[in-house]
Structure 1
Amino acid sequence: MTEPDTQRALLRLEADGDSDAEELDRLARRLRAELGELDVDLLPVAAELPPGAKGADPVTIGSLMVAFSAAGGVFPGLVDTLRDWLGRQAGKHKIKVTIDGDTVELERATTAERQQLIDAFVQRHG
């Protein structure tokens, strides 16, 4: 996407405390696959590996940059997909969505609480 109305959101998946790096990688791959069905571009997140490191750290594994059109209601659909994905997971995972330094944290809250939070975020960035 190279249109001037393109926005980017950094998604950071945080698995519950019982998950290891392998589980986080598996969760991140499932989330990427589901997001790949949307009208968004999935971009890599640059990772700076320390000297001698053999792989990415858990924060990098669970991070994904998403580029989408600011027009056409793509962002609310993205947020709905994230919310639905979280609802289908067995663990108490959360996803942090950051746009222009503004972050919202999606997790297993009541439907009303999540909707209130998402509506406020969408109004600022949708």
Structure 2
Amino acid sequence: MVGAGLDAERVGKAVRQLRKELAEQEFMTQAGIGDEPATAVALSGADGMVPGLVAVLRDWICRRHGPGTVRLTLGNESIEVDKPSFDAKALQAFLAKR
């Protein structure tokens, strides 16, 4: 999750909830790696599961109370999605590249 001024505890709770929802759909996750592991989720084993991943992300982000933004990174490319302009087709196209 990205954004200036976000409450660290609230972000951590949201990330834990996302990991739980991904696990319920049989996605393998771990805490993110890097400078801010509490605000990132590393996902593996999602090959062929793009529609399910898009559905989980759409449902999760649309339930957020704020206008938060989520950045997904695959290799050197990233896409940001947010609640007001969630574009499932753009996200599917981005995820299908891999």
Q: TM-score range by the shorter chain?
A: 0.7 to 0.9
Q: Deviations over 1:76-115 (max 9, x none)?
A: 211221111110111111111111222111112345xx03
C-alpha distance 124-24 of structure 1, shift in aligned 2 (>3 A): same
Residues 71, 81 of structure 2: 8 Å contact kept: yes
The Cα shift of 1:14 comes to 2.4
Considering Cα pairs closer than 8 Å and 6+ residues apart, tell me whether 1 or 2 has the greater RCO. 1
Residue 84 of structure 1 is matched in structure 2 by 59
TM-score, scaled relative to structure 2: 0.81
Secondary structure of 1:46's match?
coil
Amino acid at match of 2:91: I
Task: Give structure 1 stretches of 5+ with no counterpart.
Answer: 1-12, 49-58
Amino acid at match of 1:100: G
Q: Distance in 1 between matches of 2:4 and 2:22?
A: 21
Residue 61 of structure 1 is matched in structure 2 by 38
Residue 4 of structure 1 is matched in structure 2 by none
Residue 74 of structure 2 is matched in structure 1 by 99
Amino acid at match of 1:117: A
Task: Give structure 2 stretches of 5+ with no counterpart.
Answer: none
Q: Distance in 2 between matches of 1:101 and 1:67?
A: 16
Structure 2 counterparts to residues 1-126 of structure 1, below 5 A: 13-14=1-2, 17=5, 19-47=6-34, 59-71=36-48, 74-110=49-85, 114-125=87-98
Residues 67, 84 of structure 2: 8 Å contact kept: no
C-alpha distance 24-60 of structure 1, shift in aligned 2 (>3 A): same
Number of aligned residues: 98
Question: % of aligned pairs identical?
Answer: 24
Larger Rg: 1
C-alpha root-mean-square deviation of aligned residues, in Å?
A: 2.2
C-alpha distance 28-122 of structure 1, shift in aligned 2 (>3 A): closer
